[in-house]
Amino acid sequence: MITNLKDREQLVLENLALRHRIQVLKRRKKRPNLRTCDRLLWVSLKRLWPNWKTALVMVQPETVIGWQRTAFRAFWRWKSRVKNGHPSTDPELIALIRHLGQANPTWGRIRIRGELAKVGLRVSDSTIRKYRPKSPPRPSQTWRSLLHHPLYEIAAMDFFVVPTATFHVLQVLVVMAHERRKVVHCNVTESPTAAWTAQQIVNAFPETTAPRFLLHDRDGIYGAEVAHRIQGLGIEQKLIAPSSPGQNPFVGRLMGSIRRECLDHVIILNETHLRRVLSGFLGYDHKDRPRRSLDHDPPMPRAVEPPEAGPIIELPMVGGLHHRYARRAA
Mean pLDDT of all residues belonging to the chain: 80
Q: Which residue has the higher pLDDT, 126 or 159?
A: 159
| Residues 123 and 209 both lie in one domain | no
* Short-list 159, 203, 152, CA closest to 178: 152
Confidence at 107, pLDDT banded by 50, 70, 90: confident
Calculate mean pLDDT across residues 215-234.
90
| Residues 159 and 283 both lie in one domain | yes
Determine the pLDDT at residue 86: 61
pLDDT at 190 over 80: yes
| Residues 221 and 131 both lie in one domain | no
Q: Which amino acid appears at position 326 of this protein? A: A
| Residues 279 and 246 both lie in one domain | yes
Confidence at 145, pLDDT banded by 50, 70, 90: very low
Residues 6+ apart with CB under 8 A from 122: 116
Q: Which residue has the higher pLDDT, 266 or 135?
A: 266
Residue 178 placed within a domain:
yes
Q: Which residue has the higher pLDDT, 31 or 62?
A: 62
Determine the pLDDT at residue 19: 67
| Residues 56 and 174 both lie in one domain | no
Domain span including residue 274: 151-292
The model's pLDDT over 254-263, given as tens digits with 9 standing for 90+, comes to: 999 999 999 9
| Residues 176 and 243 both lie in one domain | yes
Determine the pLDDT at residue 277: 94
| Residues 194 and 268 both lie in one domain | yes
| Residues 215 and 244 both lie in one domain | yes
Confidence at 278, pLDDT banded by 50, 70, 90: very high
Residue 81 placed within a domain:
no
- Residue 213's Cα: distance from chain center in Å? 35
Range of lowest pLDDT (26-40, 76-90, 112-126, 242-256) = 26-40
Residue 129 placed within a domain:
yes
Range of lowest pLDDT (121-125, 165-169, 206-210, 231-235) = 206-210
pTM: 0.58
Q: Is-contact 325 314, C-beta < 8 A?
A: yes
- 209 by Cβ neighbours in 10 Å (0-12 / 13-18 / 19+) ranks as exposed
| Residues 39 and 130 both lie in one domain | no
Range of lowest pLDDT (22-36, 85-99, 113-127, 264-278) = 22-36
Residue 85 placed within a domain:
no
Question: Rounded to whole angstroms, how far apart are CA atoms 199 and 317?
Answer: 31
Question: Rounded to whole angstroms, how far apart are CA atoms 115 and 275?
Answer: 26
Calculate mean pLDDT across residues 79-93.
72
How many domains does the structure of the chain reveal? Answer: 3
pLDDT at 149 over 60: no
Calculate mean pLDDT across residues 244-261.
90
| Residues 238 and 264 both lie in one domain | yes
Calculate mean pLDDT across residues 14-18.
69
User: Cα torsion at 10, 13, 19, 22 (round to 10°)?
Assistant: -90
pLDDT at 193 over 50: yes
| Residues 278 and 162 both lie in one domain | yes
Determine the pLDDT at residue 64: 60
Calculate mean pLDDT across residues 125-138.
76
Calculate mean pLDDT across residues 91-98.
88
Calculate mean pLDDT across residues 186-208.
91
Residue 83 placed within a domain:
no
Determine the pLDDT at residue 139: 47
Calculate mean pLDDT across residues 204-214.
86
pLDDT at 159 over 90: yes
| Residues 64 and 15 both lie in one domain | yes
